[in-house]
Amino acid sequence: MHPVFITIIKRLGLGVLTLLVVSAIIFSSVTMLPGDFGEAVLGQAATEETVAAFREELGLDKPAVVRYFEWAGAVLKGDLGTSFSGRSASGSDRSRSVAEMIGPRLKNTLFLAGVTAIIAVPLAILLGLSAALFRNSWYDRTVNATTLTTISMPEFFVAYVLILFFSSLWNVFPSLATVDPSMPLGERLNRIALPAITLTLVIVAHMMRMTRAAIINLLASPYIEMARLKGASRTEIILKHALPNAWAPIATVIAFNLAYLVVGVVVVEVVFVYPGIGQLMVDSVSSRDIPVVQACALIFAGTYIILNLVADIIGIVTNPRLLHPR
């Protein structure tokens, strides 16, 4: 079997193993959260017998190991469980399935991440290539200083600065990114403008600097020197000789930042009250809705692992040593 396929199969196996380990960590972490859903619903005045009966109804009286394997087995079958919200001490059950709650929120998060990626990825690659092309020029120094400034500031600070200037002082974009499925595309894009700009400013710096560093590192290679001796222009050297060999590190950092768009969007969604999966997770932690918290965390972990696997596979298939073994 070709070394590329062997390496890819090993990476996929490690990805599945990593997801299993992460699912156990997620379940354990959620289990150790302070507070109890039964006590939160029944109140402090409830007797121990009432709390115990309510916990038994929810299945919280079982050992943690048993609950983990029941939850993991259900997830493998595509069942994320039933939300605790809607349960009451009187016995009424108006709860919904976790998948039904997460579905619309996940679409909103993916929409925001997709719009940001469409803007950020080409912009970062363009800035990185141009900075490498005009290395040590005033343009290179300006781009580096700007990206270092944005990368050093936390997301919520960038978000509040944008709200101050583009919503409070100048009413250009709305400060609240409330959207619904019936909203026209143009209106949705206007509502998510500030969250998308915030995420773009945060992730462009990582991708741009990695692209610039990868290109500059390759420019010192012997084959690049040979291309110079043959009379190739600087632009031709970068686009035809350096860029194709720099895709592996660039793809890795792009995958990391795309994973951040889904995984790290929680803070931005909370600041702009955006109805995404990050906001849902924060609300579920506050209400001790364990199934929803576990499902959101598992989706975040799965997204991060899958995108990192994609980056690994891209690095493998673009590695000449593996493609053409001796």
Render pLDDT for 271-308 as a digit per residue (tens, 0 to 9). 898 888 888 888 888 777 788 888 888 888 888 888 88
The residues, ordered by sequence, that sit 6+ positions from 292 with a Cβ below 8 Å of its Cβ are 83, 84, 85, 98, 101, 102, 280, 281, 284
- Checking if the pLDDT of 85 tops 80, the result is no
**pLDDT (tens digit, 9 = 90+) per residue, 243-271?**
777 777 777 778 778 877 777 788 888 88
Output 62 or 162, whichever has higher pLDDT.
162
Q: Percentage of the chain with pLDDT > 90?
A: 2
214-240 in b/e form (b: 16+ CB < 10 A) is bbbebbeeeebeebeeeeeeeeebbee
Cα-to-chain-centroid distance, residue 222:
38
With beta carbons less than 8 A apart as the criterion, state whether 316 and 7 touch: yes
CATH 1.10.150.530 corresponds to the domain 105-286: no
Domains of the chain by residue range: 1-96+288-326, 105-286
pLDDT at site 260: 78
Q: Which residues are CB-contacts of 17 (< 8 A; sequence separation ≥ 6)?
A: none
**pLDDT, position 86:** 60
> At residue 83, does pLDDT exceed 70?
yes
